[in-house]
Amino acid sequence: MNDLEPLFKGIKVLEIATYIFGPGSAAILSDFGADVIKIEAPGRGDPLRYAHKAPPFMPLDFSYIWQQDNRNKRSIGLDMKSTEGREILLALVREADVLITNFPPDVLERLKIRYEDLAPENERLIYGQITGFGEKGPEASAPGFDATAYWARSGLMDLVRTASSEPSISGPGMGDHPSAMTMYAAVMTGLYKREKTGRGGKVHSSLLANGLWTASSSLSCILAGGGAAPRPDPAKPTNALLNHYQTRDGRWLLLVILHQKKHWPNLLKAMEREDLLSDPRFLDIKDRNDNAKLLGPVLAETFKTRDLLEWRERLGAQKLTFSVLATMEEVIDDPQVLANDMLIDVEGHDYGRGQAVNSPFWVEGSDKVPARIGPEPGASGADILRELGYSEDNITTLSQKGVI
């Protein structure tokens, strides 16, 4: 850490959100020093706290999937339906800079915590609303997870598969985490607008919108009057230099040779297949593209003659664009990952290596705060109420009544 104060010191964030999309965006704010108060249902709290105990998640005593997106936060259990609970909520809103919620629109209306309900309490509030499918239309309040709204409904699940494979469900949080970056950007844009106008406002995003944005390179073709790209067949590629190949030891590598004029000879040198330079089927770019289904098997057979490590050295020496298909177990020991602080130590995390994945950007001269483990449900409630001016007797009474 440097001697400067955290970039977001003094920024107070209320998080009325469960699972990953909303909490993930608030976690990024907390990385830079924002005071994030997580408002949870009294007792049990965010359901994601317990998701690691059931498939498809790997079982572990530590709530790793919840902890990834809830470091550095404080938690208060609050019954927002009660009169006293609502009074506490409004007191927190009056002091907040940002509120992030992923409750469905009908629930927000029922609890009277929509933007229009809370804005009169704090005209400088940035209200970040998250939905599965957008705030309008017949499915505005439909439940949506990233696997359904981001992955399946957006077309990505249909797009990202080979010609012979069945659709595959997404990995945990695959849509939530990039979407969390979108909400973070929306909140920061709202704060910038507040700096210019003096007033807060509402910002919003959805899993479906983020899924479409992710798929936009393919969707743009359809929107321009074209069609959907055919699903790839690694054995019969449409571009043999943009394809994945298996190596002798059963591993895979992804080849991405876009600048063919420059790199085709380098590839053949790495493969010790300079004989293909004079092959009439592959003389120029047009020939190689027209005969991609013939070139693909030739490259496939060659890649099967050496192990992945040797191919990595050979292709790297020729400065070719490629990647190994890394496993999850390998990623956490990747020298590039470690050299660039993409993993962080978490104070209080005593399981395994005691680390989490870092948020994916850095601001020179404004270090992130040291990460500390996320709180137990409601663990910070009494301290938060004291900050609001509640007496010890009041806090005890509220706790006994189940308000906190």
Tokens, residue 316 = 């790297």
- On whether the pTM is more than 0.85, the answer is yes
DSSP output for 123-142: TT-EEEEEESS-SSSTTTTS
Give span(s): CATH 3.30.1540.10, the chain.
Answer: 242-329
Instruction: Please tell me what DSSP assigns to residue 278.
Output: G
Average pLDDT, integer, range 204-216 = 98
User: Quick count: other Cβ atoms within 10 Å of Cβ 375?
Assistant: 20
pLDDT at res. 237: 94
3-state secondary structure of 335: helix
Give Cβ neighbours of residue 85 (< 8 Å, ≥ 6 apart): 78, 79, 403, 404
Q: Which fold has domain 242-329?
A: formyl-coa transferase, domain 3 (3.30.1540)
Q: What is the pLDDT of residues 7-19, one digit of tens each?
A: 999 999 999 999 9
Report the range of poorest mean pLDDT among 120-124, 158-162, 212-216.
158-162
Pairing of strands 242-246, 252-256: antiparallel
Q: What percent of the chain stands above pLDDT 90? A: 93
Of 154, 80, 149, 142, whose CA–CA distance to 105 is shortest?
142
Amino acid identity, residue 334?
D
Closest CA to 88 of 395, 341, 368: 395
Instruction: CATH 3.40.50.10540 in the chain: give the residue spans.
Output: 12-214+341-400
Please provide the average confidence, as pLDDT, over all residues in the chain: 96
The two structure tokens encoding residue 379:
């663990």
Instruction: Provide CB contacts within 8 A for 66, sequence distance 6+.
Output: 46, 48, 49, 51, 52, 374
CATH 3.40.50.410 fits 12-214+341-400, yes or no: no
Per-residue pLDDT tens over the stretch 133-177: 999 999 999 999 999 999 999 999 999 998 889 999 999 999 999
Using alpha carbons only, give the angle 136, 21, 363 rounded to the nearest 5 degrees. Answer: 120
